[in-house]
Amino acid sequence: MSFSAASGELRGAREIEPTRAIILPSFLNDDPRSMTREQLLKLRKNPDEFDEVEKVRLRLIDAIEEAVAWKEVNKQLAAGKTQRLVELGVGRYSYELDATSLVNGILSAGEQPVKVIQYDEGEPVRRFEAPTAELTREIGSAANAISFNLKMRGSTVYQIPDGGVLNVRREQVFGPLEIPGLEEQGFIDLDSSELNEMVMEIDAPSEELQRATRRLKDRIIELDNEIESRLQTRYAISVTAILLVMLGMTLAIYLKHSLPLFIYLWAFLPALIDLLVISSGAQLMRDGQVYFGCFVMWIGNVILLAGVCLLTRMISRH
């Protein structure tokens, strides 16, 4: 609350509650490198629990809510009615849109200018006219209601009721605003697959909605590739550890008259090369080449196993 001595008014803002949890990144919980096998397998089944996927999912929800709001407003305007917008909180201003259509956030009135009448506590005070106007969803609003911003470019401002021109503004932004009667649709409770199905049912989705959908699909695929890469890397390194011991034993028997350092060198170099090959395969898998990356990752262990088998056969002959 605040008191303005100049106008003698007591002003304030209503208490708001966040409608979504605030996501805080955590290395231990949100990085696949630090997750156990059980956690990775669980994350593969429920990718929405991953921080990066959840952020993209929330952006898609914003885009869907925006598309639903546009549809409702366009239906109102197409019926020849005006659309009311109210300043969020305890703001004194409200706005009345006079247009014929709202397509992908762009307000149009055909050959006529888009008109916006500003009301001060219910009384009309100004009229704004512009060739077009833009209604966009305000991302990250903490309020309970879905809020929007109304942007007008090259608008002419008229005083009401005398109709005199006050000025011409290059850009005018009103917001945050809410559409009376437009409530949350419960999209926050839907998972990624359900959101994708909903987008497919929307007629003529906007480019922003299509981009948000592609980003969510791509992020889930990237997560799945990374999980597979981490799992295969752990399996391959575990097998490498066993093969390294077996290679060392067979080399020690086969080269029993050689120096221990010489035997260690011959056992260490193949293991080092194998680790480099595993790392390369893991990167290929994360880049989307899952099958080829898996082949590269395991080819080193296959060669090590072949070497151990060959040495074992040579030892058995002697």
Would you state the pLDDT for residue 287?
92
Would you state the pLDDT for residue 185?
67
What 8-state DSSP symbol labels residue 137? E
Burial class (CB in 10 A: 0-12, 13-18, 19+), 6: exposed
SS3 percent helix, strand, coil of the chain, rounded to 5, is 50, 25, 25
Place of tokens 């090259």: 154
Tokens of 146: 């879905």
Q: What is the pLDDT of residues 253-300, one digit of tens each?
A: 888 888 888 888 888 888 889 999 999 999 999 999 999 999 999 999
Would you state the pLDDT for residue 303?
92
Helices (H) and strands (E) in the chain, counts: 7, 11
d(CA 288, CA 222): 7
Using an 8 Å Cβ cutoff, are 173 and 129 in contact? no
d(CA 246, CA 254): 12
d(CA 117, CA 150): 12
Would you state the pLDDT for residue 169?
84
Taking CA atoms, 219 is separated from 8, 149, 169, 214, 223, in Å, by 54, 29, 41, 8, 6
Would you state the pLDDT for residue 75?
84
Would you state the pLDDT for residue 298?
95
Pairing of strands 133-137, 123-130: unpaired
Using an 8 Å Cβ cutoff, are 281 and 294 in contact? yes
Would you state the pLDDT for residue 282?
94
Tokens of 67: 């598309």
**Which stretches of the chain score pLDDT less than 50?**
142-144
Tokens of 9: 């008014």
d(CA 10, CA 3): 4
Place of tokens 């509650």: 17
Using an 8 Å Cβ cutoff, are 62 and 208 in contact? no
Of 88, 84, 65, 66, nearest to 76 by C-alpha is 84
Of 129, 117, 125, nearest to 159 by C-alpha is 125
